[in-house]
Amino acid sequence: MAAGRTGSVVEVQVTPFPTARRAPDRVMYKIPFLDLPPLRGAAGTVSLPGSKSISNRVLLLAGLSDGVTRVHDLLASDDTKVMLAALRELGCQLETDADGVLSVTGIGGRPRARDAKLFLGNAGTAMRPLTAALALLAATQGGAFELSGVPRMHERPIGDLVDALRALGCPIDCLGQEGYPPLRLSGPAPLKLDAPVRVRGDVSSQFLTALLLALPLVAEHDVVIEVTGELISKPYVHITLELLARFGVHVRRDDDWQRFVIPAGSRYRSPGEVHVEGDASSASYFVALGAIAATDAPIRIEGVGSASVQGDVRFVEAAQAMGARVDIGPNWLEVRRGAWPLKALDLDCNHIPDAAMTLAVMALYADGPTTLRNIASWRVKETDRIAAMATELRKLGASVEEGADWLRVHPLKAWKAAAIHTYDDHRVAMCFSLAAFNGLQDDRQGAAVPVRILDPQCVAKTFPDYFETLFGVVRAEIDDIPVITIDGPTASGKGTLTDEVAQALGYGVLDSGALYRVTGLAASRRGLDLGDGDAVAALVPTLDLKFESGRVLLDDEDVSADLRQEATGLMASQVGAHGAVRRALHQLQLDFRRLPGLVADGRDMGTAIFPTAPLKVFLTASAATRAERRYKQLISKGIPANIESLRADLEARDARDKGRAASPLQAAADAIELDNSQQTIGESRDLVLSWWQERRPFPA
């Protein structure tokens, strides 16, 4: 089963190594940071999201074509989102059916809008090709288009592409710094297509790809592209050529990848159906995961394999060179640890520019220094990736050397807990998640350390549920998984505070007070005899139970209202009388301690269930304050209430709870008492988070 825990959501599972399936409706970790405790093992199955490189190329080709293209398994991410918005602005019709298949009705090379401002975020796979296509369309058909992005996009060079397009006759203005976005593309203007189009190939292959995608729109005669300098990232150009052929344009090239000919009369035609294969760059993190941590069973990766058109699938060769054991099928990989420690390597990474970043973190687990060469393109990506990787690796304690187009990483023995700055770069975040396996090193100096990933949401660029998927196939020692307990009397606000703290940290939630009611309700629904304690106890481990934003979900159904019914309370009393049920529920509560962490609220979380929790909070408020809160809550729901009666009931319940023989209401000896009578929920949350930060090994 997949780990279904995001934000303040917890889903109870029983398998130690579940299958992690993509779930587009999951909420990603939209939080300032995500702490990864030391991780100790990995196994299971991962289904990859669609390839970013293929997705945006297919979208543009479908948008420029005649006819309707049905796109299967499209990546849902920030980069595809901006491409889709741009195509819609240009007049493409986009419809998604119930199965998630996107239908794109193309514009046949004739934009409906001749004046548009397009925001393209930090998506190079949208900015570069759209610049070329719209520059040529504006020149031939008239129009004015402005293309812009986030600040980092305005730092990413596009001058070589602009120079090539200007040489063709396209009027292009750089609205900020020359050679960088934002850009204004205008027309009409006569094009000069008789001479070869020249473009540099040694900075980014996306410039050549942009021309290859755009020039078929104006190929009345053969159009020749000549590459100056050595072409880097040839596998990405190969993807472009394969997809052009799918859409009816068969480009000829020489053996040296220096000359490309777009045939006269080329015209885009929809192939009808296109399937986007899984992202090979994203596969690299799980290939590395298998090489590092899959000792008992493999990591199976579905979506790429020997039939892939993506060059980054060759990352497997590098992983094998470092000692990974890999089995390969047409559309799958299975990876497990082979050599340990990993073997150091010295590698020209021109053929796997994006996936090679993963090798930099794998190098920490190697038997000697690892050198990655021919990676100059890293410096013009989402960030200067050579500088970023060197800086963050050093935070962990590693010795790192860097040059203009190379990086050397030495193995690490004395690990430091570090907060990894991700630079709004998805690949930095995903790579450094692998540092959490430092506890597997046999000759490590000192205890295993956690890793903090700042701005984890940046993975939305290509793999929105990366961390959820990762947690679905990894294992941690139970004592390494952090727990915060929040105990307190009825109506003290502990449930709301628990939700707030959990959401801030990306942790799961345990509402222990609902468990007996849920058990009684579930047993009744399944027709069990509530007097049969053994039968009810056997049901408990099978409950598909989640706590989400104050709601209780049973089998994905919100049963919060049912739990408040008097009849459910009676069922809870019946099942709670059985010792077997109480023992089963005790274990169920322990089972909620899942990655990446847990915030548990109740009466005895800090005393009986999680006595070793590093932070225990005992929440209090006066009976008068709690009665007033409960009164307002009931009145807001249209339920009549008397504030004096509520106060008397709360005081009587406090007395009963404190006097219970089993698990009485009392603060743990090491709990911090928090009286929130005069505090807002936000103030209480921030105070608890400050206490938590004091207990973490990361800098403030």
Q: How far is it, in rounded angstroms, from Cα 320 to Cα 327?
A: 10
Closest CA to 465 of 17, 49, 12: 49
Closest CA to 47 of 303, 317, 294: 303
- Within 8 A by CB and 6+ apart from 451, the residues are 35, 36, 396, 417, 418, 420, 432, 433, 435, 436
- List the catalytic residues: 354
Q: How far is it, in rounded angstroms, from Cα 347 to Cα 292?
A: 19
Torsion of CA 578, 580, 586, 587, to 10 degrees: -160
User: CB–CB of 515/602 below 8 Å?
Assistant: no
HSE at residue 611, side-chain half, CA atoms within 13 A, is 5
The verdict on whether omega for the bond into residue 596 sits within 30 degrees of 0, i.e. cis, is: yes
- Within 8 A by CB and 6+ apart from 53, the residues are 125, 236, 239, 279, 281, 310
Q: How far is it, in rounded angstroms, from Cα 45 to Cα 292?
A: 16
User: CB–CB of 559/576 below 8 Å?
Assistant: no
Ranges of H-type helices in 612-658: 623-636, 643-658
- Within 8 A by CB and 6+ apart from 155, the residues are 180
Q: How far is it, in rounded angstroms, from Cα 333 to Cα 48?
A: 11
Surface-to-core class of residue 134, CB atoms within 10 Å of its CB (0-12 exposed, 13-18 middle, 19+ buried) = buried
| Pair of tokens at residue 575 | 């099942």
Burial 84-102 (b: 16+ CB within 10 A, else e): bbbbebbbbebeeeeeeeb
Pairing mode, strands 557-558 and 325-329: unpaired
Surface-to-core class of residue 255, CB atoms within 10 Å of its CB (0-12 exposed, 13-18 middle, 19+ buried) = exposed
Q: Which helix (H) or strand (E) holds 128?
A: helix 124-141
User: CB–CB of 206/237 below 8 Å?
Assistant: no
Q: How far is it, in rounded angstroms, from Cα 90 to Cα 133?
A: 12
> CA angle, corner 145, sides to 139 and 151, nearest 5?
130
User: CB–CB of 308/276 below 8 Å?
Assistant: no
- Within 8 A by CB and 6+ apart from 593, the residues are 478, 481, 483, 610
Q: Under DSSP, is residue 332 helix (H, G, I), strand (E, B) or coil?
A: strand
233 DSSP assignment: -
User: CB–CB of 409/432 below 8 Å?
Assistant: no
| Pair of tokens at residue 496 | 């709301």
Q: How far is it, in rounded angstroms, from Cα 119 to Cα 110?
A: 20
Question: How many of the other CB atoms lie within 10 Å of CB of 509?
Answer: 25
Q: How far is it, in rounded angstroms, from Cα 407 to Cα 400?
A: 7
| Pair of tokens at residue 202 | 């040694």
| Residues β-bridged to residue 371 | 346, 408
Q: Which helix (H) or strand (E) holds 385?
A: helix 385-395
